[in-house]
Amino acid sequence: MSHPQAPTTPERALTGDALIDETLAESFPASDPPSWTLGIDAEERANLEPAIELVIPARERDLGGFAVRRVLPWRTRRELGPFTFLDHMGPRTLSPGAGIDVRPHPHIGLATLSYLFDGEIVHRDSLGSEQVIRPGDVNWMIAGRGVVHSERSTPASRQAGARVHGVQIWSALAPEHAEREPSFEHHPQATIPRVTKPGITLDVLAGSAFGVRAPTAVLSPTLCVHGRLEAQRTLRLDAEHEERGVYVLEGALACEGSVVTAGQLAVIHRGALPQLTALEPTRLLLLGGQKLPGTRLLYWNFVASSPERLERAKRDWREERFPVIPTDANERIPLPE
């Protein structure tokens, strides 16, 4: 299976200087059902309407000499359920001595979910947390009113040549939670609920799905599942969550007559009950949940409901008012100007 080619520039550490290049969020109300569906019940309508509303292609972004694929935000779809940001990094193996060095940077108004398929990274934050994340573990950090964190390769992986494959996902916070105290949770792989069907493995990373609930302390109804399907296996999606999407990390899926390939996010119509059939061994993410009220604005690593709150966060970082990371206080990513 093919993946976007890594950049040909000399290899250097991932420094994370440009984590996001989008600055505006919009709200998109659901359309009224078309007139020809009136009088048809919800399940019949789901079978008549196209399953896929929109396909979003991942775009390659250079983060300090390391290429990632950015999926969300998209110009006509800024959010999917509570999720407002999705980066897919790797798979890639760095040269011995090279590693990931995302220097200390701030967040407000969101929660971050970090999940690896390969490699290992050390998370440090201004709460005093220091935690190695390995494949299958979930790191969940609620930024709330403000937190600072860094992500770096472990010394052992750096020496051997760091392997990198994973996702970084942001979940926006509803207004009533946006200024809460920050917190950090680490959930080892063994604590993540797993649902198995013949030829299908589903790990529920956050929220609820397939009859189980993850230990992650989400603040609104959330769908976040890592799935693996053998070739020709079929997974049927239910309508538990208001908004849903499937991102293909590796492989390809057939969905009600359409094909979704690696690096594409298919947004599913509300209420649709599609069947996803793996055309080859496939790894995917199911994302979504309840749409949050109001409209959010994005700037760099900040999510807020008003321009004034964004400006205050920018000023606080520029003037070094955010807390520092006790064990990683000598560097910081400057505010983009």
12/14 Cα distance (integer angstroms): 7
The whole-number pLDDT of residue 258 equals 92
How far apart CA 9 and CA 164 sit, in angstroms, is 18
Amino acid (one-letter) located at 190: A
User: The pTM is what?
Assistant: 0.85
- Rounded Cα–Cα distance for residues 333 and 232 (Å): 46
Task: Determine if residue 172 is left, alpha or beta; phi over 0 gives left, psi from -120 to 50 gives alpha, anything else beta.
Answer: beta
The closest of 174, 187, 57 to 115, measured between CA atoms, is 187
* Total Cβ atoms within 10 A of residue 10: 8
Q: Which of the two residues, 218 and 16, has the higher pLDDT score?
A: 218
Position 163 scores a pLDDT of: 85
What is residue 37's predicted lDDT score, i.e. its pLDDT?
33
Band of the pLDDT at 332, cuts 50, 70, 90? very high
List, for residues 169-183, the tens digit of each pLDDT value: 999 999 999 999 999
Cβ-contact 111, 179 below 8 angstroms: no
Task: Give residue-wise pLDDT tens across range 57-89.
Answer: 999 987 666 678 999 999 999 999 999 999 999
pLDDT in tens, 242-292: 999 999 999 999 998 899 999 999 999 999 999 999 999 999 999 999 999
Q: What percent of the chain has pLDDT over 70?
A: 84
**pLDDT: is 75 or 136 the higher one?**
136
Q: Would you state the structure tokens that stand for residue 70, as one six-digit string?
A: 């950015």
Give the three-class secondary structure for 50.
coil
Q: Which helix (H) or strand (E) holds 315?
A: helix 307-318
* Res 32 pLDDT > 50: no
Instruction: Give the Å distances, CA to CA, from 58 to 9, 72, 75, 86, 154.
Output: 21, 8, 12, 9, 28
Q: What is the C-alpha to C-alpha distance for residues 3 and 132, in angstroms, rounded to an integer?
A: 27
Please tell me the distance from the alpha carbon of residue 104 to that of residue 117, in angstroms, as a whole number. Answer: 23
Domains of the chain: residue spans and CATH: 46-318 (2.60.120.10)
